[in-house]
Structure 1
């Protein structure tokens, strides 16, 4: 399902808090705002037998590289 930018935060958080097996997130960028999901990511990964898949990237231009601190 395509969603608007304004729906991302709540839907990602909801997926991480309610999923039982796997969460797939596809995003062009990893920015500082991604850090807002760390608690929900931690909660999800602390469940047994869960898998989190994050695909990212839009192109190789330096402006589109992941935010290094957040990525690490």
Structure 2
């Protein structure tokens, strides 16, 4: 069994790190949504939080697209 696990890790050494990073990225998005949900759109922080959320989403999208193309 250890030989099979070793082969999987050798074939995709970054998989575990990718999964953990993805979990954290999604956690941050959910956290930001929860803050935005409770924040009035007229609040001075609303636009700043939306901009941060949108930039994170764009960066994530570029990363996913790059991985799909093998970049």
Which range, TM-score by smaller chain? under 0.3
Relative to its length, the structure with more strand (as a share) is: 1
Structure 1 or 2, whichever has the larger Rg, is 2
- 1 or 2 for the larger relative contact order (CA 8 Å, sep ≥6)? 1
Structure 1 length as normaliser, TM-score?
0.27
User: Which structure has the highest helix share of the two?
Assistant: 2
